[in-house]
Chain A
């Protein structure tokens, strides 16, 4: 059964800390891995990764895919209270299916 597992389930940090969120997957015929941020309502897109070892970066956020280990990490440096959200990982396959993990809930305390 295809699945996506995220860890940790939740995390509480202080402003300025660096956090690493993990996503591992067991999905046949992998095509892409995507990270989303979900605050109060709809998820918003962060990164899409298709190639192993290439880091994607946007400001204080970065992500990398390891196809050998079937995993990805999302790093957030110098966290701010505005980073508090649920971070979702999703994986698509060539069979046109999308699988989301249950998310990591991040709380940043001032």
Chain B
């Protein structure tokens, strides 16, 4: 079964750091670019970051640029999001999602998300 499972979400104080992980299974992980997308409680979806299949290219939303770092370890079938200088507005459910070139680079597989709460 094709699956993405996020982990690492916790309650953290403003200014703190956190690393999220996304474990992939059921497909050849290094064939796919990957994204992080977040959803604040009761709000819509917001794109966070993109990484190419080999990790050679990364892109970020302006709201997280300079604070978040996306990375991947293809030998471990894992995607990561290092989050520094966290703010209250970073509170959200964080999803990892797979890009499928067969669907014009649309996200075709999403995880169930991991919740990050930034609060003192």
To the question of whether A and B form a pair in one complex, the answer is no
